[in-house]
Structure formats: C-alpha cells, structure tokens
C-alpha cells in the first residue's frame, strides 16, 4: 500500500489566495480541535503573507498567532512557507538574521519549513536549510515550477538534486499558478524520483483548472504528499478541494485514511467564517485559463485586483495581465512568486498606468537588475537594464547576494543604543502620532505612489506607514533591521 498524505492549507494559502490573507486568529482557533483530529500530515498555518498581513492590516502579533496555534494543535505538524534568504520579506537579509528568525520560528511552534527562492537560486536556500536542520526541524526544499524557454525537466531535476545534497528532508514541487499539466507532472515526478529517494510533495493552485488532474497523476507517478484546501476556501486561485481528492483516492492503494464527514464539518465552519470577509472577495479568484499565458500566481490575483481597485484603475486589470509576460521576459523569465511576482507585477502596472513602458522603474526592479535577488534564469533585456541602472550594468556583483550583507541582528539600535539577546531593543523606535487604527499615514507612506509602494500578496492599501509598523509588538521579537 502506498498511502498518500495530505497537507491542509486553509489556515494560510487558502485565505491568502481568496480573501487577501485577512483571516483573523480568532476565526482559526475555534476549529483547531477538529483540525487536530483530522490526521493531516501537516497544517500550513504561518509564513507567506500571513506575517505581513498581521502586522499591516489585522493589528495582530504574528508570533502570538503562532504560539496560540501551537497550543491548539498539539498533535499536528505546523508548516510554514519561508522565502529562503528573503524570510517573510521582500529582499535578502543577512545570514545571522535568517538563522535567528528560523530558530525563533521553531521555538514558537513551526515543525515543517517549506523553503523556496523566487529565482530558484540554490545559493539563497542554503543558510535557511542549515538553520532548520540545526533547530531539529523538517526542511522541505521547494522547486518553483514555471514554464519558459529555459525551464525544462533537466533544470528542475538539478534543483532537486541540489536540495537533496543540502540536507532537505522532502522535495516540494511548488506550482504557484497552476501551470503544471498532468502528464508533465508524471514526467517531472519520475525524473526527480530517479535522482533522489526523498519524498515528493506536490503543491498546485487550481486557477487553470488542471490541479486535480495534476495531483492525481503525480500520485500515480510516486508523489506521496499533496496540498489541498477544505471546500470553503478551495478552487479558483486557491487549491483543489480536500474532500474531492480524499474521495477520489478512497478505496485505492493511495487511500489517505482521512474522514470525509469530519473534513466536511471543518469546511462548514469555514464557510460561515468566509462570509465575514466579503469585502476582500474578488471577481478574479475563480478558474481563469488566462493564467496559462500570464502566469500570475493564485495568491497574487485577488490582491492585484484589490490594489488596482484602491487606485481606481480596476478597468486596467486586463491590460496589466497582458503586460506581465512581457516584463517577465525582459527580466529573464523569473518564476512569478514572492517577491519576483510583486517586482514584475508592480512594474507591469506602472507600465500600463503611466502609458509608457519603463518610464518609471521601481527600486526593486533596479535591485533585481543588479543581481541583488539572485541569478536570473535567462539573459536580461540589456536595453531595459541600461534604461534602469545606466552604466553600472557593466560592473554587476557576483557571488551569493546575501554574502554582501553585514551582520544585522547584532547592530545597535539607534534609538536605545543597546542589544539584548542578539536583537535590537525597539522600545524607543519612534511611532507615528497617528493611531494604528486610524488607517494609512500619507505623511510617512513609503515608495511614492501607492502603486509603486507595492502590489504585494498581502493585499489591502498599498501605501503604509513604516513607522506605524515599527511600533507594532511583533517588532520586539524580530531583529530591527529585518524590515528596513
């Protein structure tokens, strides 16, 4: 018997994909008892955009959420999504910050760390994997699946081999946009299995309508863990329905052993919860086969729509979706996943809204073109590079991007002048006089226009007050420099 295990995504990727990551902790805890009984291989409940959304929009301490979930789920592995050297931010952090963050996450309740790099640059995974193993936790290396002239099966197999050599415990195929077709999944899973004996974990958004078939064929080819989401937060930009795949595999050699009545009870609870977040629903979160062309990942679609709506430009959504593949080609075909999805998406939006391509270039694109995020999968459009960063393109730095960063966790905080337990004392970080509940502080908004400030997967208002965020309790548990 080849039992298939299930990772349930409702506490993270499900609501990130459909309601812009707005589910509050108070709506998660009441059902945790039943989630803990279900017998999932793991529950993805932290990481991704949840940290950002807690701090920016929900007035919650993300560390407190993790501790509460850990207490409420004593029998189930808690899984998080970690962006490698980016942690949960949008740039590379220094190695000491990465190690401190991973250790703190493990101490507070994370059991499984799914680690990926938006560029599929293995150099950006190594420190995170080492830190997870040092903490005695499960390291899952994730391959960001995408399609382009340079992304093929041998390329992904080499990534899997590199992750295995690093010491990863499992290999995830992370299909952010639902681009992986069923028979390609068979070929890819078999090729990875021929290279390493590590368990293979498949993750595929349902945006294109392919994910159910992809999971099934991947299981038949040898994948042993699949990602699904209970029906209330499934399908479209989210993931295949847990109940459907449990039923499809029942009575076969791949039977999950999970109880459909119990999962249906869990889904019924979340069906009522979802009604509370109606204002974050989007017309762009259903099945949309255009994703096979524009490759916008599930977690980005609803938030891109929310951001354009905030700017009064929702009527330009189709134009932005058409521009995204062109910007991606200019930048060397990076996979569209945080933070590269935001980098490409924001630049595409600016190209459309300003009426001229690259008339305005974001700082993030400039950093990308300087190699600060890692090595591009394919050659970059040199005309765009020259336009964005000028003659400096002849002197691009080489080597691992984060290696150029000095130690950050032990820096003295400019406000207090002292370091405690390896992190800056933030008691004296100046706060904006505007109350946290009062909304966006335009005086301290970062990044100029709201669009330029970020079309992130966190959704909501694009411009935000960084001083306000610095005053949040979560900052007292994080190295000061980590959000600068």
Nearest alpha carbon to residue 426 among 437, 416, 441: 416
Q: What is the pLDDT of residue 206?
A: 95
SS3 readout for the chain: CCCCEEEECHHHHHHHHHCCCCCCHHHCHHHHHHHHHHCCCEEEEEECCHHHHHHHHHCCCHHHHHHHHHHHCCCCCEEEEECHHHCCCCCCCCHHHHHHHHHHHHHHCCCEEEECCCCCCHHHCHHHHHHHHHCCCEEEEEEECCCECCECHHHHHHHHHHHHHHCCCEEEEEECCCCCCHHHHHHHHHHHHHHCCCCEEEEECCCCCCHHHHHHHHHHHCCCEEEEECHHHCCCCCCCEHHHHHHHHCCCCCCCCCCHHHHHHHHHHHHHHHHCCHHHCCCCCCCCCCHHHHCCCHHHHHHHHHHHHHCCCHHHHHHHHHHHHHHHHHCCCCCCCCCHHHHHHHHHHHHHHCCCCCCCCCHHHHHHHCCCCCCCCCCCCHHHHHHHHHHHHHHCCCCCHHHHCCCCCCCCCCCCCCEECCEECCCCCCCCCCCHHHCCCHHHECCCCHHHHCCCCCCCCCCCEHHHHHCCHHHHHCCHHHHC
Average pLDDT over residues 248-266: 97
Whether the ω angle into residue 339 lies within 30 degrees of 0, i.e. cis, is yes
Q: What is the pLDDT of residue 436?
A: 32
Average pLDDT over residues 362-372: 91
Minimum mean pLDDT among 244-248, 371-375, 397-401: which range? 397-401
Give tens-digit pLDDT for 89-128.
888 899 999 999 999 999 999 999 999 999 999 999 999 9
User: Can you read off the two tokens belonging to residue 103?
Assistant: 């250790």
Return d(Cα 271, Cα 274) in angstroms, integer.
Answer: 5
Other CB atoms within a 10 A radius of the CB of residue 448 amount to 12
- The Cβ-side half-sphere exposure at 69, using a 13 Å CA radius, reads 29
Burial 370-381 (b: 16+ CB within 10 A, else e): bbbbbbbbeebb
Identify the bridge partners of residue 204 per DSSP, sorted by sequence position.
175
Return d(Cα 306, Cα 459) in angstroms, integer.
Answer: 6
**Beta strands 200-204 and 138-144: pairing type?**
unpaired
Give tens-digit pLDDT for 289-302.
988 887 777 556 66
Mean pLDDT of the chain: 84
Return d(Cα 297, Cα 203) in angstroms, integer.
Answer: 12
Q: What is the pLDDT of residue 413?
A: 45
- Angle subtended by helix axes 317-330 and 298-310, to nearest 10: 120
pLDDT grade for 288, boundaries at 50, 70 and 90:
confident
Return d(Cα 383, Cα 411) in angstroms, integer.
Answer: 39
Distances (CA, A) of 356 to 323, 348, 349, 464: 11, 10, 11, 26
- Angle subtended by helix axes 126-134 and 95-108, to nearest 10: 40
**Percentage of the chain lying above the pLDDT 70 cut:** 80
Residue 468 pLDDT exceeds 70:
no
Q: Comparing 350 with 310, which gets the higher pLDDT?
A: 350
Distances (CA, A) of 200 to 42, 90, 104: 14, 27, 27
pLDDT grade for 448, boundaries at 50, 70 and 90:
very low
pLDDT grade for 392, boundaries at 50, 70 and 90:
low
Beta-carbon contacts of residue 421 (< 8 Å; ≥ 6 apart): none
Question: Contact, 104 vs 129, CB < 8 A?
Answer: no
Residue 433 pLDDT exceeds 60:
no
User: Can you read off the two tokens belonging to residue 458?
Assistant: 């966190």
pLDDT grade for 201, boundaries at 50, 70 and 90:
very high
Return d(Cα 104, Cα 89) in angstroms, integer.
Answer: 16
Q: What is the pLDDT of residue 36?
A: 98
Residue 466 pLDDT exceeds 70:
no
Average pLDDT over residues 160-166: 98
Q: Comparing 411 with 178, which gets the higher pLDDT?
A: 178
């Amino acid at each position: 018997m080849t039992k298939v295990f299930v990772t349930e995504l409702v506490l993270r990727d499900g609501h990130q994909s459909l309601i812009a990551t707005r589910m509050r902790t108070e709506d998660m805890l009441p059902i945790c008892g039943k989630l803990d009984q279900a017998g999932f291989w793991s529950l993805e409940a932290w990481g991704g955009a949840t940290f950002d959304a807690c701090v920016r929009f929900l007035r919650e301490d993300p560390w407190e959420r993790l501790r509460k979930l850990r207490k409420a789920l004593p029998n189930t592995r808690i899984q998080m999504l970690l962006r490698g050297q980016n942690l949960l931010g949008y740039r590379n952090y220094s190695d000491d910050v990465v190690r401190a963050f991973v250790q703190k996450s493990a101490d507070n309740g994370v059991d499984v760390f799914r680690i990926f790099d938006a560029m599929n640059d293995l150099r950006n995974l190594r420190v995170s994997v080492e830190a997870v193993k040092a903490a005695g936790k499960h390291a899952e290396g994730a391959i960001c699946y995408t399609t382009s002239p340079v992304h093929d099966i041998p390329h992904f197999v080499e990534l899997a081999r590199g992750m295995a050599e690093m010491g990863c415990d499992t290999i995830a195929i992370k299909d952010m946009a639902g681009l992986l077709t069923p028979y390609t999944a068979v070929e890819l899973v078999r090729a990875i299995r021929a290279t390493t004996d590590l368990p293979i974990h498949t993750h595929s958004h349902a945006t294109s309508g392919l994910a159910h078939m992809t999971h099934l064929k991947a299981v038949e080819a040898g994948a042993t863990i699949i990602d699904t989401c209970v029906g209330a937060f499934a399908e479209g930009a989210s993931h295949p329905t847990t109940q459907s795949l449990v039923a499809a595999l029942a009575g076969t050699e791949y039977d999950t052993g999970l109880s459909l009545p119990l999962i249906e009870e869990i889904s019924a609870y979340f069906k009522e919860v979802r009604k509370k977040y109606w204002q974050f629903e989007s017309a762009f979160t259903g099945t949309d086969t255009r994703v096979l062309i524009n490759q916008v990942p599930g977690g980005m679609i609803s938030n891109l729509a929310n951001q354009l709506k905030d700017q009064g430009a929702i009527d330009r959504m189709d134009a932005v979706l058409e521009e995204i593949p062109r910007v991606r080609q200019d930048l060397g075909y990076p996979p569209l996943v945080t933070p590269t999805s935001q980098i490409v998406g924001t630049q595409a939006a600016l190209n459309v809204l300003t009426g001229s391509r690259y008339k305005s270039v974001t700082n993030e694109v400039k950093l990308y073109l300087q190699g600060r995020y890692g090595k591009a999968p394919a050659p970059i459009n040199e005309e765009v590079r020259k336009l964005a960063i000028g003659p400096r393109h002849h002197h691009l730095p080489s080597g691992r991007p984060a290696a150029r960063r000095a130690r950050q966790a032990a820096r003295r905080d400019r406000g207090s002048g002292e370091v405690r337990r390896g992190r800056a004392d933030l008691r004296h970080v100046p706060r904006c006089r505007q109350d946290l509940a009062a909304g966006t502080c335009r005086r301290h908004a970062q990044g100029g226009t709201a669009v330029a400030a970020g079309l992130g997967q966190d959704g909501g208002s694009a411009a935000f007050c960084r001083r306000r965020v610095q005053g949040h309790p979560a900052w007292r548990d994080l190295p000061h420099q980590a959000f600068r």
